[in-house]
Structure 1
């Protein structure tokens, strides 16, 4: 477990990238809440139409699909599908002691790919653009997992 200390620059690289992804994941949830409040729409459950201090005038159309809100919700769901794999593969990758340069390229590359994916989603880019950034991030996670597996088993 000597690899999981602040004295290990590979672990520090992982910790920085992992923390940035925590902020991205949690921030995306707050962006969805902000968009729901700004548009007064995008609710998903019938019980959300109850009158409350935050929804003093509930309306049935608040449950209608609103792309402004749902786009953020889809981005959040995409983060939930991708970032946890990075956390796990990245930690296993740290355990096998890769070279610092490789860890930095891969881990900061993943962060960059996720941020570019988010910008492409916000900018309403087509699927091919978003898929390019998804693919980069996905291949990084797959590589780290395979590298860790070979290092731990081999």
Structure 2
């Protein structure tokens, strides 16, 4: 069986987790736009104040920061700072052929930690809670990366 085939349960596990994280990150862009429409503000560029069908009554106040829009932007930025590392670390981890159960725990654990982090951030929970959820994801990334690194070193040495 080809290692990078969906017939390989290890790779299929990675693909599911990676797709969920990509959809989550892309979804944040859509959520930002939805929030700007709901708030009729939180825009960033001066050209956003041109009169259009979507903005029939432009107002310079629409360029002022809007906390509801900015919260979504911060969540999105956090995703953009973290999810690319997961995509790479997870792929390298799968190439190192870990046990399937370990891979499922780590890959899906990361997804759950990021979704819980999103929920905590969206609902303005404490920094401590968000930090704990972020830490879980970060430790998972470290474990996967070190596993892949050790496997690569052993492969070269062996």
Counterpart check, 1:123 vs 2:123: yes
Partner of 1:43: 43
Q: Deviations over 1:99-150 (max 9, x none)?
A: 0010000000000000000010111011111011111001111111111011
Partner of 2:92: 92
Distance (whole Å) between structure 2 residues aligned to residue 52 and residue 137 of structure 1: 42
Partner of 2:149: 149
Counterpart check, 1:70 vs 2:79: no
Partner of 1:53: 53
Counterpart check, 1:7 vs 2:7: yes
CA RMSD across the alignment: 1.1
Distance (whole Å) between structure 2 residues aligned to residue 52 and residue 150 of structure 1: 56
Over 3 Å off, 4+ runs: none
SS in 2 for 1:20: helix
What's the TM-score, normalizing by structure 2?
A: 0.94
Distance (whole Å) between structure 1 residues aligned to residue 65 and residue 5 of structure 2: 46
What's the TM-score, normalizing by structure 1?
A: 0.97
The offset of 1:2, in angstroms, is 2.9
Distance (whole Å) between structure 1 residues aligned to residue 6 and residue 133 of structure 2: 30
Segments of 5+ residues of structure 2 without an aligned counterpart are none
Segments of 5+ residues of structure 1 without an aligned counterpart are none
Q: Deviations over 1:18-74 (max 9, x none)?
A: 011111011111111000001101101112111222111111110111111110111
